[in-house]
Structure 1
Amino acid sequence: MKFKNIPRQLFGLFSRSLPRRLVRRDALLESVSGVAQELPAGLAQQRLECAAASAMQLYERFNSHPEGITEREAEAARSQFGANVIENQQAETWWRHLWHCYRNPFNLLLTVLGMVSYATEDLTGALVIGLMVLISTLLHFIQEARSNKAADALKAMVSNTATAYRSDALTGKSEHVELPIAQLVPGDIIKLAAGDMIPADLRLLSAKDLFISQAALTGESLPVEKRVESRTALDSPLECQNLCFMGTNVVSGTALAMVIGTGRNTYFGQLAQRVIGQDEQPNAFQSGISKVSWLLIRFMLVMTPIVLLINGYTKGDWWEAALFSLSVAVGLTPEMLPMIVTSTLAKGAVKLSRQKVIVKRLDAIQNFGAMDILCTDKTGTLTQDKIVLERHTDAFGASNERVLRYAWLNSFYQTGLKNLLDVAVLNCADERQQPELLQHYRKVDEIPFDFERRRMSVIVEKDTEYHELICKGALEEMLAICSHVRQEEAVIPLSDSLLARIRRVTDDLNQQGLRVVAVANKILPAAEYEYGVADEADLILEGYIAFLDPPKESTAPALAALKQSGVTVKILTGDNELVAAKVCREVGLAADRVLLGREVEQMHDDELAQAAARTTLFAKLTPLHKERIVQLLRKQGHVVGFMGDGINDAPALRAADIGISVDSAVDIAKEAADIILLEKSLMVLEQGVLEGRRTFANMLKYIKMTASSNFGNVFSVLIASAFLPFLPMLPLHLLIQNLMYDISQIAIPFDNVDDDQITQPQRWNSGDLGRFMVFFGPISSIFDVLTFCLLWFVFKANTPEMQTLFQSGWFVEGLLSQTLIVHMIRTRKIPFIQSRPAWPLCVMTLVVIVTGIGLTFSPLAGFLQLQALPLSYFPWLALILAGYMVLTQCVKGWFVRRYGWQ
């Protein structure tokens, strides 16, 4: 199902974090794989009973009808059985959602500190800590509540649908309608075709050459054929040929089926419930956030006791020292990290949606920016996706109408998913000839396409005289089953010399950029017979149909832009290597070495990994070849994206760090993807990559600022605690300072990002963060000590009676230095001159500065135990802050030259 136009008001809905209930089905499938045989006996028995039942018994059991159920009956069934969604896709109650937003390590830690403050009768401190937790939790809750709405709107655009038959209660007439999968109920009659996801547990009513991929449930790599006949002697429902199960997909063929189980009452739903309570394996993004979070928490847990011991020993007041150390612990807790991360990701999703890129899973945005290898198919990505039938020739290159007629009959009568080649054939045939062909030919059977044989056949009856098997497919696979070739009106045996001549003809067509499909046939007696793959033997090669799919004009500049952005593009195609190589040359993609599918088969993993790293073009691949190549590239440490839209791309989409599909893709490809493009263009993809990097850069700003600022503050506190006869700042001052600083960081997701920060892939580097803390944290301590000296010697705040002046002076200097350092660390360049921040960040900075200074002069100063600072203090303060910014800029320049700047 294609996307609808995105309404403008929808952009506001995307501006918050990913709801937890938007879960990838393929992640669950991977979790439950291999345990399909361990289901409750009751469900297995129900499925076996349905497999054994006749059609009439099924209609009676589910209150259904051959023409489909009515809307009223569907509503009644939905109220009884619920929506067709698994448990973790259902909406959370508001209170459970609020609990999830509150439950992060920072909020839990702050809650403990707040409870300790309350127990020690520090009510003001407990109030401020509670306010910090409340702001963080509510911001997160509001964001995710909006995000839930965004998810519903998003899923309405990208969700898969099913073709169901519904009858009119008044007229009794039946019509087929496209319904969201969630609306299906037991008793619904649905139609299946190639590329469809199986939307629920089904019992087949009719089927034609239906092949289902059940690998997710059973581990079988090859599709299994499904038939209407029941096999009641089997112990496992998964072995029943007339049952299909949610989570699998149609590879080829068509069918009519009845829904016999939805939601939790499906095999997939039962298996999913077993893994919902299990922790999912974190991806690279989640692991990075977790490492940073626990790094900061461990740092706090180590430094807080040291502050307690020093203050208790030097001041002699262990009670006050304990309160101060608690406040230091709060100040070291980056409680806004979850909110900053989700806000930044959500803003990235907003911008991507405006660029025709829909994000199904928000934390995929960071992987988008980290991607350094993009694997993609050739057709529709490098090329225009507008295939035309350029030639139809006999085996020796002469134009031939007989070949076109055979190709048309094959494409017209096949029931599988008609690809662009079939559409081109059907559009090419003379409309006046079509009725004549249909008058003389009647379909008898077909042998569906699969990616191992790379061909498909239809069997037609000619004027009730005989049957004719018409086969078309990839050249090498077709030559392997042909024993004769038609030369004008004669049929002659295929010899080595003729094969060499045929390959010269087809190679010449390939080198012209034409994709060659061979056409062959075989005369059979008109008898009742069920045809199969074994009948595809001793065929007569009739000739070829050759297609042209020229490159897009935008492909070459898009590839150049991706290369400049540090993304290597590799082509993984099932097409002929000569055609693919010509297209690559035309778009400026070096393809000197080509790796073929048969070579991939013969390589062990280490050998293939080395070859994959240096190869740009892979041709004549099967779906499993694509998946294996993607997995090996990931094992080498690359962040790999895969772009595909067909049934054959689904395994590789799941295997990649980031799966990318398009709105026109088949259901199974869209289901496996993390990102959906509304336009199948590498240029759109390149814009998405850059946006992913901007998103990551803004997240990293907050983490760097928080880490370095906290590290420096602790040094300052330790120095002041060791030498001052009073506390350098009251616990309340530390809490207010931290609260104001955190509020100022809300604007970071809206900040600008320098162009040079998005030229290369962005990835988590915990080692770089630790180095950054060590170099930039102590710089603030230097100027904090200068402030201490200024207040002690110049303003004589060196006695316990003058401690309020000292504390007010450091409160203002600490708040302003923490706020201004944001502008120093947000860019590797000279701030405000070479790199300008976004206006929201400037406004928030100004608000915090004015509020911080204003508090010391406001009526609240006495309550907060602050005092108005002498005006002569502010020129000194400006000098200290200017020195801080200059030194930071100098160290930053050295740091960039030595270690780079992520």
Structure 2
Amino acid sequence: MTQKHIWHNLSWREVAEILKVDFKKGLSEKEVENRKKKYGPNFIPEEKPFSVLKIFLDQFRSPLIYILCFAGIITLALGKWTDTLVIFLAVFINAFFGFWQERKVSKVLEKLKKALKTKATVMRDGRKKEIPQEEIVPGDIIFLKPGDRVPADARIIYVEDFSVSEAVLTGEWMPSRKTTDPLPKDTLLADRENMVYMGSLVERGEAKAIVVATGISTEAGKIASLIRETKEEKTPLQKKISRFAKIIGAVIGIICIFIFFGGLARKGDPLEMFESSVAIAVGGIPESLPIVLTVVLAIGMERILRKKGLVRRLASVETLGATEIICFDKTRTLTQGKMELAQVVAPDQELALKIAVLCNEAFIENPDDPIEEWVIRGSSTDKALLEGGFRRGFLKPELEKESVQILEVPFNSLDKYQLSLRKEGNDLFLYVNGAPERILERSKNKEQWKAELERLTQKGLRVIGVGYKKIPISKKDQFKHSPQKIKEQAKDFVFAGLLALEDPLREDVIDAIKVCKKAGMRPILVTGDHKLTAKYVAQKIGLKVEKENIIDGKELDELSEKEFMERLEKINVYARVEPRHKMRIVQAWQKKGKIVAMTGDGVNDAPALKKADIGLSLGSGTEVAKESSDLILLNDSFSIIVQAIEEGRVIIDNLRKSISYILADSFTSIVLIGIAKVVFGWPLPILPVQILWNNFVEDTLPEISYAFEPGEKEIMQKKPTLFGKSLLTKEMKFLIFATGLIDEFLTLFLFWYLWMVLGLNLDYVRTIIFGAICMDTAFVVFCYKSLRKNIWQINLFSNRWLVFSSLMVFLTFSLAIYLPPLQQILHTVALGMGGWLIIIGVGVLSMFLIEITK
């Protein structure tokens, strides 16, 4: 019965009749039990957090890992225990790094969570009682007061100067004043003044309401259901790695088949050909790539965390760099999330400020403490006026020494103003503060203010009016205990001025938006605020806001999918939006093939945060929003988004450097073995276990060191599409191919000369080839510091980790050829000075030739 009716369109008496409740006595306990069985408990089920085991097992869900595991099983079947051990060691080291980083993030999230157990006051069997929120059922009569969280969706039946902050649901910072009157059927959620919704915060006054929906049937529950129904897409990096792994698997498979059957055609031994094919597979599979990807992304996460951005998913780090569209909310994302006095328009500004401070219900909780420690309590509007006065030198305690209050009439939603009767010396003044329209109706000088009021309103500011009236001191006693008589005097005011309040922009927002535009990203404002407010904010941050560039939720509903897609490119601002609108906006851009980021902090943002390629939530936002996001801005600063995107671009650039180097190395191993074995019929120039040592021990540290490469200066001046492309760009493919050919030529020539011409011992020759490939790592690694510039055009030693890792290659290779246990495992022999000169010479020559190809 709670789903069929449009509650805001009905009178509260009709609602009580439909829900079969006596609005004076409430439900009986017997009826409550029946409804509990029918509707269930009043809570929104949460998704189970990932277990430690699931986080660990997720590290193995990668096509690259599948290929490595397959290679490990094959080597195990052939009895190559060393090869098997090294391959599976690579798999588990990768899993450890990924698990460690994601587990660390989950612990931070656990600390961010705050358990909120809400209680509610209800009327049952004619008596008020306090019960846990979970026990509320449809039809319950609830009572609300300042500071309460609304426990369920309810239709208001009585209000007394009642206002509620619904920012958690609608995104609008300004409190919503509530009434009891029915509203049109098509009234948007943010405009339903006769309803209160689960999770909203009571700011002022008192109310009585009938619960119409509980649990997953509430608006918050519907959003939670929408989140669960939203399929979590793979990140662009995950998709690229998946495609990449399939290509590598297919290429290596084809080459292995070619080697096997080519060898058989040359009447080679089938077992030997099979072992050669396995050697090709071991050499071609980039064992270190999963580790490098994981570590580079983890280091990126740490760097973003130091800038107060918490990345929840490892693969999301790369997606940040490819972001093309940023859809952002206004409240607390662009703005500070609190009202401030922005402008005073008055012939006598001091008088206007004095009235705003004195005729004000906000109060100082600790007036005896130093001013900088004062805690101000009251409605957001009154607090903003009081704080605005303080900043301009109007301290309420000081003013009250000369202005003694005789009586006040609090603000109420009917009159929309508050009154304060004060004695100042031998004079009596009636001050008024409230809605400008209402005060102007009661003022003598109204005409001159109408244009000014319209100008401020057009900017989307919240405008407060103030005025005063001098009353004969002889009438002081007759007003002393009579608020009604004071209200009778509320006319013929002198209108003293207008005070404009706004939710101010964060200091870094305008610069951050400029950087976004310069970086080729499209910023789009998506807010629950009114059109005028959205337009004003958009203009301040530099967005184009002609008629065609701004649209509200109602207008969006009227557009067909085709019409919306046609207008999409022109719209910069969305106002008065609901969760379904945000989802539609994200999906529309994704249909155009764009990578979309969405910022938000409320429950209303959560579905779109989850649907977006990158969900960005605020640290001060709701837990629902944080759980649905990929990046949490721990200090709510918009500039973190820009810094995170820049970091994401640096990471993509560095990943490409690592991947290019890894693939060039793998390409060298495949061609070296393939040509030597199939084309020339030579023995293997390098053994599989030596390839594994090179791939896993020699190469991994230099490959990871690319993660510490500083970003190139022009990185935030490039189009995001450059970062959203496939992992292998044209320049990468060329460099990989060129490096492979150069290294193949040098190593094949070296093997031919040493083994065929000089007839040296095969183990010695293999050790030289092994050493040449290792030394190639030590020198060629610097060629990949930049994929575009030569080494003499850059600072070769800007990355001390890369320099350190290059030196470590010499150490690890020395261990491989001089330690007897490793000599036995790797089938190496000790080299003299001549051998070292050969392998170092090959490395230097290789670096020189690669730089020429650039």
Contact kept, 8 Å, 2:235 with 2:316, in 1: the verdict is: no
Larger Rg: 2
Query: How many Å apart are 1:215 and its aligned residue?
Result: 14
CA gap of 1:687–1:797, structure 2 versus 1, over 3 A, is same
In the other structure, the counterpart of 1:640 is 596
Higher deviation after alignment, 762-771 or 876-885: 762-771
Query: How many Å apart are 1:328 and its aligned residue?
Result: 2.0
Q: Distance in 2 between the 1:165 and 1:322 partners? A: 71
- Classify the secondary structure of the residue corresponding to 2:692: helix
Taking the TM superposition and a 5 Å limit, the aligned residue runs for 1:645-724 are 645=601, 653=609, 656-665=612-621, 670=626, 672-721=628-677, 722-724=679-681
- Classify the secondary structure of the residue corresponding to 1:488: coil
Contact kept, 8 Å, 2:102 with 2:314, in 1: the verdict is: no
In the other structure, the counterpart of 2:82 is 127
In the other structure, the counterpart of 1:886 is 848
Query: How many Å apart are 1:577 and its aligned residue?
Result: 5.1
CA gap of 1:85–1:607, structure 2 versus 1, over 3 A, is closer
The Cα offsets for residues 35-59 of structure 1, whole Å up to 9 and x where unpaired, read as: xxxxxxxxxxxxx9x9999686799
CA gap of 1:612–1:320, structure 2 versus 1, over 3 A, is same
CA gap of 1:427–1:778, structure 2 versus 1, over 3 A, is closer
Amino acid at match of 2:299: K
Amino acid at match of 1:115: I
In the other structure, the counterpart of 1:806 is 765
Q: Distance in 2 between the 1:579 and 1:809 partners? A: 70
CA gap of 1:794–1:459, structure 2 versus 1, over 3 A, is same
Query: How many Å apart are 1:60 and its aligned residue?
Result: 10
In the other structure, the counterpart of 2:296 is 344
Amino acid at match of 2:752: W
- Classify the secondary structure of the residue corresponding to 2:823: coil
CA gap of 1:764–1:374, structure 2 versus 1, over 3 A, is closer
Q: Distance in 2 between the 1:644 and 1:776 partners? A: 42
In the other structure, the counterpart of 2:828 is 866
Percentage of pairs with the same residue: 21
The Cα offsets for residues 142-195 of structure 1, whole Å up to 9 and x where unpaired, read as: 6514642442233313x24415469xxxxxxxxx9xxxxxxx997799999999
Amino acid at match of 2:285: T
Contact kept, 8 Å, 1:646 with 1:665, in 2: the verdict is: yes
Contact kept, 8 Å, 1:645 with 1:665, in 2: the verdict is: yes
Q: RMSD of the TM alignment (CA)? A: 6.1
Query: How many Å apart are 1:244 and its aligned residue?
Result: 8.9
Amino acid at match of 2:764: L
- Classify the secondary structure of the residue corresponding to 2:632: strand
- Classify the secondary structure of the residue corresponding to 1:547: strand
- Classify the secondary structure of the residue corresponding to 1:374: strand
Query: How many Å apart are 1:288 and its aligned residue?
Result: 2.4
Q: Distance in 1 between the 2:207 and 2:836 partners? A: 81
Amino acid at match of 2:826: L
- Please state if 1:301 is matched with 2:253: yes
The Cα offsets for residues 769-802 of structure 1, whole Å up to 9 and x where unpaired, read as: 4773355235323332333223323554677x84
Amino acid at match of 1:755: E
In the other structure, the counterpart of 1:112 is 70
The Cα offsets for residues 620-651 of structure 1, whole Å up to 9 and x where unpaired, read as: 55446666555544444443334445677666
Q: Distance in 2 between the 1:407 and 1:610 partners? A: 52
CA gap of 1:708–1:621, structure 2 versus 1, over 3 A, is farther
- Please state if 1:515 is matched with 2:461: yes
CA gap of 1:298–1:255, structure 2 versus 1, over 3 A, is farther
- Classify the secondary structure of the residue corresponding to 1:88: coil
Amino acid at match of 2:696: L
CA gap of 1:408–1:188, structure 2 versus 1, over 3 A, is same
Length, aligned pairs only: 722
Report the TM-score, using the length of structure 2 for normalisation: 0.66
Query: How many Å apart are 1:716 and its aligned residue?
Result: 2.5
2:810 to 841, 849, 864: 849
1:88 to 39, 45, 48: 48
The Cα offsets for residues 722-761 of structure 1, whole Å up to 9 and x where unpaired, read as: 1133223333333333332454356336421342463233
The Cα offsets for residues 640-671 of structure 1, whole Å up to 9 and x where unpaired, read as: 33444567766665564333343344566555
In the other structure, the counterpart of 1:287 is 239
CA gap of 1:204–1:547, structure 2 versus 1, over 3 A, is closer
In the other structure, the counterpart of 1:359 is 311
Contact kept, 8 Å, 2:661 with 2:703, in 1: the verdict is: no
Q: Distance in 1 between the 2:766 and 2:229 partners? A: 49
Contact kept, 8 Å, 1:197 with 1:667, in 2: the verdict is: no
Query: How many Å apart are 1:819 and its aligned residue?
Result: 5.3
CA gap of 1:150–1:649, structure 2 versus 1, over 3 A, is closer
- Classify the secondary structure of the residue corresponding to 1:388: strand
2:275 to 323, 326, 337: 323
In the other structure, the counterpart of 2:343 is 390
Q: Distance in 2 between the 1:147 and 1:696 partners? A: 19
CA gap of 1:393–1:591, structure 2 versus 1, over 3 A, is same
- Please state if 1:332 is matched with 2:294: no
Report the TM-score, using the length of structure 1 for normalisation: 0.63
1:505 to 452, 459, 466: 452
Q: Distance in 2 between the 1:580 and 1:609 partners? A: 22
Contact kept, 8 Å, 1:690 with 1:758, in 2: the verdict is: yes
Query: How many Å apart are 1:706 and its aligned residue?
Result: 2.5
Q: Distance in 2 between the 1:696 and 1:775 partners? A: 17
Contact kept, 8 Å, 1:720 with 1:728, in 2: the verdict is: yes
Amino acid at match of 2:849: L
Q: Distance in 2 between the 1:410 and 1:702 partners? A: 60
The Cα offsets for residues 300-348 of structure 1, whole Å up to 9 and x where unpaired, read as: 2222222222334436121122122113212322343333333222222
- Classify the secondary structure of the residue corresponding to 2:695: helix
CA gap of 1:213–1:515, structure 2 versus 1, over 3 A, is closer
- Please state if 1:162 is matched with 2:124: no
Contact kept, 8 Å, 2:152 with 2:197, in 1: the verdict is: yes
- Please state if 1:787 is matched with 2:747: yes
Amino acid at match of 1:752: E
1:424 to 359, 378, 384: 384
Q: Distance in 2 between the 1:549 and 1:187 partners? A: 37
Contact kept, 8 Å, 1:623 with 1:652, in 2: the verdict is: no
2:781 to 822, 847, 853: 822
Q: Distance in 1 between the 2:332 and 2:208 partners? A: 32
Query: How many Å apart are 1:601 and its aligned residue?
Result: 5.3
Contact kept, 8 Å, 1:744 with 1:819, in 2: the verdict is: no
CA gap of 1:387–1:837, structure 2 versus 1, over 3 A, is same
- Classify the secondary structure of the residue corresponding to 1:755: coil
Q: Distance in 1 between the 2:250 and 2:723 partners? A: 23
Contact kept, 8 Å, 1:641 with 1:660, in 2: the verdict is: yes
Query: How many Å apart are 1:691 and its aligned residue?
Result: 1.8
The Cα offsets for residues 788-841 of structure 1, whole Å up to 9 and x where unpaired, read as: 223323554677x84333322222222332454333223233348534353333
The Cα offsets for residues 112-143 of structure 1, whole Å up to 9 and x where unpaired, read as: 33333333xx43x2332233313431452365
Contact kept, 8 Å, 2:709 with 2:785, in 1: the verdict is: no
- Classify the secondary structure of the residue corresponding to 1:89: coil
In the other structure, the counterpart of 1:546 is 500
Q: Distance in 2 between the 1:441 and 1:632 partners? A: 52
CA gap of 1:695–1:592, structure 2 versus 1, over 3 A, is same
In the other structure, the counterpart of 1:144 is 99
Q: Distance in 1 between the 2:240 and 2:750 partners? A: 41
The Cα offsets for residues 526-574 of structure 1, whole Å up to 9 and x where unpaired, read as: xxxxxxxxxxxxxxxx996522666666455444444444444444564
The Cα offsets for residues 206-239 of structure 1, whole Å up to 9 and x where unpaired, read as: 99889999999xxxxxx9x999xxxxxxxxxxxx
Q: Distance in 2 between the 1:111 and 1:296 partners? A: 14
